[in-house]
Structure 1
Amino acid sequence: MRRRLVVLLAAVLLGVTGQVSVSAAAEDDCLSVPPTISQDTDPVETIVLKNTRQVPIEMRAFHDAVDCSGMTVDVQKADGTGRTTVALTHQGGRGMPPSWTWYGYLSLTAATGGGDWVITRVTHGANILETDVRFHVYRGSELTLDQPARTSGAARTTLSGQLRRYSNTGALVPAANTTVTIRHWTRNLLIATAKTDAAGRYKVTVPFTQNTTLRATTEAGGNYVAELTEWVTAHKLIAMSYLQPLPNAYANAWWKVGGTAYPGRLQADLQLWNGKAWATTGSYGFIGANGAYERYWRPTRAGVYRLRVVVSGERLDNTPWSREVTVTVKQLPTQPSWLTGTVAPTAGPPVKFGTTMSSFGFLKARQPNGTYTGLPNEVVRVIAKRPADAGWAVVGQARTTSSGYFFTHWSVPFAAGETFTAVLDYPTALPRVASSRSGTFGPFTVQP
């Protein structure tokens, strides 16, 4: 008795419609379904043949009470060559609902195994299941990505490797004129592409700005599947020039230091050694796209100081990196300053709590020829104190004009019955000009 069945088979990377027929014993539970390219019901989706390959062929019996020992399958190339018989001698069971499987292995070599194959028959004793289950065997490739040499600063990183493929003879030979793609591990972003030469070698240089993890890939083509390498990290170092400081530094004057640092978005922080630890001077920030930076420091007194510039960035092997310089700060000879002015009630006496006071005058500095000229854009303070106060308190201030003139209003902060005096004060902010104070104004007695 024979019967014919039409079955839709899921083969490797192919949707196949094949004819299946059973002869001799149609009720043989071992031959109730067609064979599959799988092992323990796990399908092999892509068969890639490199040197040798064991391809699993499996029959499902649905329960372990069925004795399917002695079952074999006939397999051959689609063109009729390479016919071989595979014994299904291995057993396993898994899945829900539970099923029992019998499977064996088709042994293939790189020289003869590539291409289209077909399972033509399954035999169990005198019973035969004729099939047309087709699958494809791809030839394998060997793609490598060399560990890139660590580079410094703006130097480009060289990425290289080799692509070889198994030929029809089974030999591993260079694959020439093939595109290799380099991709970033973040979202598989494209970094670069390169073509292989006659030796299968490829090379491309990339301007990385930080440590970068990547891999090489090839697209599927012909009888070869896509290939990819393991992840490799290209490492980068900060390259920092020697510091270029101003040769002279003076108290109360700005001193500058500059230099260059690469690669990428780096920060530079000017730090001062305070005798116990490094502390920022407040001159810090990102370095420009051209790699150049300048940082500034204003010492307040003469002496010898240690300063350094610290450069840092993300994902760099030697971050942070720094260079140090010793600076000798000198005190410049100072020119005397001359402060004249008035402190008085704006509307006249009496002086009460909250009364508006006016302070105005001129701030000048003596020049080498003995003349006095106005000091522009300097701050003059009004300071006051009561007899019992230990120190002076700032009650107002003004900034001088181009001629040295200043003017300000302030309110009396003292209570009725108290007495206070006031002074105009200039604490110098210039390296060559001395501080100065006016005479005392008052005393003023605060009226009820």
Structure 2
Amino acid sequence: MLATSVGQSVMLATLPSMGRQANLSEFHIATIMSSSALIFAIGTNVWSRIARRAGFKRTLLIGLAGYSAGTFAFASAWMVGFSGIISGTNLFLALLISRSLQSTIMSATPPSAVGYAVAISAPALRVSAISKVTSASNVGQIIGPAYAGLLVGFGLLAPLYSIVVLTLLAFALVLYKLPVLPPQNSTEQKVPTVALEDKPTRVPYVFVASCVCVFAAMAMMQQTMGFFFIDFYGKSPVEAARLVGFAMMVSAVTSLTVQFTIVQRARLSKEIMMSLALPLLSLGYLILYFQQSFAVSYIGMAVMGLGMGMAYPSLAAAATTYCAKSQQSSITGLITATTAMGYIVGPPLAAFLYQQNIALPFAASSALMAIVSIVILITLKQIKRSNSRQSP
């Protein structure tokens, strides 16, 4: 997860700058991100079921191998475009196809990693287990932007090609060091339900939908930030990539700090964490909307990181807690796909709003998080009321 997170953060930090360098529009970049995310979301659900039959380790190896090959193909498509061999629509199609093929295979990684973590953890430690997996992603988000900023001086494609080596090292580590777990099926889940009877319920889908909204807002921010730094602050593509990388690193540092100091030590319940995280996310995006300097943008990213550090682990734990046993398989698959689902909607919406006003995507993200905050508070009150009725 660390290796793939570094790769994703490198790609997100440099993609707008590479698009401008290749004379591609915001909509071209948004379409690449959104289409690959759609494939990733579908693939995650498919691989989630495969992982339980074939084993988490084997599926994880497939995902890492696909990530390595796909990153090489994606970077090579950009190289062909920068060299002038292809351009315009042909370059866009080459990038779209290579990125989509990569998403088809690399989508095996998240469900197998999260499934492995859940399988080896006790129910009471589920939030902590999920948090450790997402902490690896946060560390990658810290390393990735700094890594991209360091190597981008050798060319915009240097960070992407180097990621291939990193993910191959991760492949070797998993192959030789990770113990094999016996395959599981949907009736052998080690995550029992809490507080609800063993019958299907719509409650967990509220938390799944909230996760999708959280990542849609993040995708809107990431789609916008690079172009915003170029158009609002007048930076070059290389300078913008470095500044976006630093902003993402600030967010990841605060997110990781929250996870290590609060989430993994279970100092707050998942319900309290959700109630705090979502308003913080709304505030962070609102600060980005009103930014007039890099300092203010970094403050907004730091606040957003505080919210993200608590949002996903608490929402994921709630979704897998407040569901029936018969829903465990589908809910776990959906939770691991929420990142991709958010990136299906976020980039094209951000590209459209950006054409109206370059700061509008930040305002839309803030409003979305405010709405989700209200929905979650209402849902938690309903759960509490339902539990009090069931108590003797």
Considering fraction of residues, name the structure with more helix. 2
Considering fraction of residues, name the structure with more strand. 1
Give the TM-score normalised by the residue count of structure 2: 0.18
Highest Rg: 1 or 2?
A: 1
